[in-house]
Amino acid sequence: MTILRSTYCLVGVLTALILLTLVAADIEQVDISSVRTESLDRTIERVAAASPGAVRAFPDDLSQWEREREDIRQALDRSLGVSRIYEEAPLDVRIFEPRKLPGDSTVRPLLFDAEPGMAVSALLFEPPAPPPLPAVILFAGHTGRGKASREYALLVAELLSRGIAVLAVDEIGGGERAFTGQQMPELLRFGVTPGGVQVRDGKRAIDLLSTVPTIDAHRIGAAGHSGGGFQTFYLAALDERIAAAVAIKYVSSYLGMIRSGIEHTLDNYLLYPLRTFEQRHVLAAIAPRPFMVISSRDDIFPAHEASLTVSEAAHIYGLYGAEENLVFHVFPGGHDLARDEMKAAADFLAHRLGGTVPAFEAMTLVNAVKKAMSLQVAIPQEKQGTLADIAARLRRRGMFSPLPITPETDADLSSLVVADRLDGGGMRRQEVAIGRSGRFLFRVEMLFSSADRITKALLLVNPSRRDRRVCEQEVREGCVCLLMRLRNGSTERPLWPRFDYEEYRSWGNALLAGYSLDFFKESDIVLAQRYLVERFALSPAAVTSLVPESLLTESKYRLYGALTAARDTPSAF
């Protein structure tokens, strides 16, 4: 066989996977306009809708639910990677001099270790109320300013007026921790997400508050907006030390996130949650502890999906006789945090954590809180750990955890010839639609001279013009040649320019659906190879599949390649 000059890597695993009974495929010609193929984004959405997590029902028995809850929590922990990086190491707390605020409230800058060599900068606001005090961990969204996000000043003031202390923390990539990085896909190779690092930091914040003499360790709550709502939601589900919490404009559903057509930052994606659970199961895992979900009508996290999630999780709260502990509010407006939303959150937390009625008007404290939020603690050089440091540590430990990318091999094969012509040289050129179970996914181009003398097949993925000419030579030597272009996901300009990746949204949605983007692309290749085997009665060994190395090395496939590189390492899942 002629050696192709283009650089290719042999996908031997695809051939090895096809151990099937070979049946010649019937060929039917139709008008090309009558055949529609499915977009890759639509395939991801369809797979997500049929996933185990999406269809998983709640039991009617409380004891059965509590057994399932442990399974869900373990799966959630794996989807975030929290246990892989959480350690009960010394906190090495550094507390700085308190600053006075109007009305005898105080604020203290402090540092504590998330892990050795990685410190978290924070501000501890305390009201003029007798200790021990209830406390709320406040998580900022994607403002980039962390604890200095002045839009949260009213929420801090509202909580202080109700006798509740507030620990405002800098998340990874925000505030004084901007150097850590926040969107690092390489972490996923080790079964850890950037969002999982944030939740780990939240657990360490609970560890810290549990050691502060003025704080009641049994009355610790959490609140956050957007990305902060993400941290609040999953921290409450994984750590029962959170006595009450409010997630503002994050909770919806994974399927709703996929269908919305909106891309999110990398730290908002989990590793294949829909293989086990949906957001309703995460919310139910918090029961019977008090939890408030706040949405808005025009939010990027669809309010109608949040409503369904809350209504379904209410079934589990009902089994505990704690229906009143799950509260849902929809406010007008978009994704920005509004005054009424902050007041509702403060009222809920004060009621559930044992706060007081407002001792003063919160607005009188807002400007002082805004000014105090700019206080910095100057993280020492030796404690400026980054996400890259976490990845390096996991790499040294050999803690690889690749995503499941084994292509499907047993789905029903469907095919239809949609165009067929014979050129002057006796070469037949066909366009064929290929899919599963009557649903066509993609089209391929077929070149062959005579079906009765074909003894081998060559499958070329994303071929160049020169490759086509070489393919024609192979056909003259008794080879059938199939040329296919991989389906691409979303190719619009990324909302987040930091990602040099044209298929970022599809990549993230594939993770939520329970797979990697590699899975869908490689499954298409396997399906095309099956078509060759079955139509021309070839042995699997007679089919050679070639994929350009550039698919794994081009910058737009950076995230795709980072995951693929881990495929042969031991998996913990």
Contact 215, 238 (CB under 8 A): no
Which residues partner with 384 through β-bridges?
118
Task: Count CA within 13 A, CB hemisphere, residue 341.
Answer: 28
Contact 534, 25 (CB under 8 A): yes
Question: The CATH number of the domain where 167 resides is what?
Answer: 3.40.50.1820
Q: Is residue 471 located within the same domain as residue 509? A: yes
| Distance set, CA 58 to CA 252, 281, 289 (Å) | 18, 8, 18
Domain for residue 573, yes or no?
A: no
Q: What is the pLDDT of residues 309-325, one digit of tens each?
A: 999 999 999 999 999 99
Among 396, 423, 452, which residue terminates a domain? 396
Domain for residue 218, yes or no?
A: yes
- How is residue 251 written in tokens? 């909770």
What torsion do the CA atoms of 228, 232, 234, 238 make, to the nearest 10 degrees?
150
Q: Is residue 267 located within the same domain as residue 139? A: yes
Task: Count CA within 13 A, CB hemisphere, residue 483.
Answer: 20
Domain for residue 97, yes or no?
A: no
pLDDT the model gives residue 12: 39
pLDDT the model gives residue 10: 38
* Closest among 513, 514, 53, 45 to 282, alpha carbons compared: 53
Contact 328, 218 (CB under 8 A): no
Domain for residue 56, yes or no?
A: no
pLDDT the model gives residue 14: 37
Between 524 and 329, the higher pLDDT residue: 329
DSSP conformation class of 14: H
| Distance set, CA 536 to CA 148, 255, 497, 539 (Å) | 66, 40, 46, 9
Residue carrying the six token digits 């922990």: 77
Q: What is the pLDDT of residues 409-435, one digit of tens each?
A: 566 899 999 999 988 777 899 999 999
Q: Which amino acid is at 523?
A: S
State the DSSP H helix or E strand holding residue 351, giving kind and residue range, or none if neither.
helix 339-353
| Distance set, CA 195 to CA 2, 60, 270, 422 (Å) | 49, 32, 8, 56
Q: In sequence order, which residues have a C-beta less than 8 Å from that of residue 294 and are 6 or more positions away?
A: 246, 247, 248, 249, 328, 329, 330, 331, 341, 344, 345
Domain for residue 104, yes or no?
A: no
pLDDT the model gives residue 497: 47
- How is residue 99 written in tokens? 């600053």
Cα(81)–Cα(228) distance, rounded to whole angstroms?
18
Q: For the chain, what is the domain count?
A: 2
Q: Is residue 18 located within the same domain as residue 71? A: no
Q: Which of 216-225, 376-385, 494-503 has the lowest mean pLDDT?
A: 494-503
pLDDT the model gives residue 120: 96
Q: Is residue 348 located within the same domain as residue 221? A: yes
* Burial of residue 31 (number of CB atoms within 10 Å: 0-12, 13-18, 19+): exposed
| Distance set, CA 167 to CA 176, 331, 513 (Å) | 15, 26, 35
Between 34 and 6, the higher pLDDT residue: 34
Q: Is residue 21 located within the same domain as residue 79? A: no
Cα(173)–Cα(4) distance, rounded to whole angstroms?
46
Q: How confident is the model at residue 408 (pLDDT cuts 50, 70, 90)?
A: low
Q: Is residue 80 located within the same domain as residue 33? A: no
Q: What is the pLDDT of residues 500-511, one digit of tens each?
A: 566 888 888 999
Q: What is the pLDDT of residues 34-69, one digit of tens each?
A: 678 999 999 999 999 999 999 999 999 999 999 999
Q: Is residue 421 located within the same domain as residue 319? A: no
Domain for residue 427, yes or no?
A: yes
H runs (alpha helix) in 162-265: 194-209, 227-238, 254-260
Highest mean pLDDT among 108-117, 353-362, 486-495, 560-569: 108-117
Q: Which of 124-138, 387-401, 540-554 has the lowest mean pLDDT?
A: 540-554
- How is residue 252 written in tokens? 């919806």
Q: How confident is the model at residue 547 (pLDDT cuts 50, 70, 90)?
A: confident
Q: In sequence order, which residues have a C-beta less than 8 Å from that of residue 3 and are 6 or more positions away?
A: none
Cα(15)–Cα(65) distance, rounded to whole angstroms?
43
**CA 459-463-464 angle, 5° bins:** 150
Taking 90 as the threshold, does the pLDDT of residue 91 lie above it? yes
Helix/strand/coil for 8: strand
Cα(415)–Cα(101) distance, rounded to whole angstroms?
73
H runs (alpha helix) in 488-549: 504-513, 517-535
Q: Is residue 211 located within the same domain as residue 342? A: yes
- How is residue 510 written in tokens? 């594939």
Contact 507, 559 (CB under 8 A): yes
Helix/strand/coil for 323: helix
Can you tell me the mean pLDDT for 355-383? 92
Domain for residue 101, yes or no?
A: no
Cα(232)–Cα(189) distance, rounded to whole angstroms?
25
Taking 60 as the threshold, does the pLDDT of residue 27 lie above it? no
Q: Are strands 8-10 and 543-548 parallel, antiparallel or unpaired?
A: antiparallel
* Mean pLDDT rounded to a whole number for the chain: 86
Domain for residue 93, yes or no?
A: no
- How is residue 362 written in tokens? 């919160």
Q: Which amino acid is at 470?
A: V
Q: How confident is the model at residue 192 (pLDDT cuts 50, 70, 90)?
A: very high
Q: Is residue 29 located within the same domain as residue 79? A: no
Cα(201)–Cα(235) distance, rounded to whole angstroms?
10
Contact 382, 117 (CB under 8 A): yes
Q: How confident is the model at residue 259 (pLDDT cuts 50, 70, 90)?
A: very high
Q: How confident is the model at residue 489 (pLDDT cuts 50, 70, 90)?
A: confident
Q: How confident is the model at residue 558 (pLDDT cuts 50, 70, 90)?
A: very low
What pTM was computed for the model? 0.88
Q: Is residue 75 located within the same domain as residue 197? A: yes
Cα(61)–Cα(451) distance, rounded to whole angstroms?
61
Q: Are strands 99-100 and 94-95 parallel, antiparallel or unpaired?
A: unpaired
Q: Is residue 318 located within the same domain as residue 414? A: no
Residue 245's φ and ψ, nearest 5 degrees, are -155, 160
Q: What is the pLDDT of residues 145-163, one digit of tens each?
A: 888 888 999 999 999 999 9
**179-195 CB burial, b ≥16 within 10 A, e <16:** ebbbebbbbbbbbbbbb
Residue 222: give the domain boundaries.
65-85+123-360+388-396
pLDDT the model gives residue 189: 80
- How is residue 244 written in tokens? 């009450």
Q: Is residue 331 located within the same domain as residue 428? A: no
Among 373, 396, 419, which residue terminates a domain? 396
Q: In sequence order, which residues have a C-beta less than 8 Å from that of residue 200 and are 6 or more positions away?
A: 82, 85, 86, 114
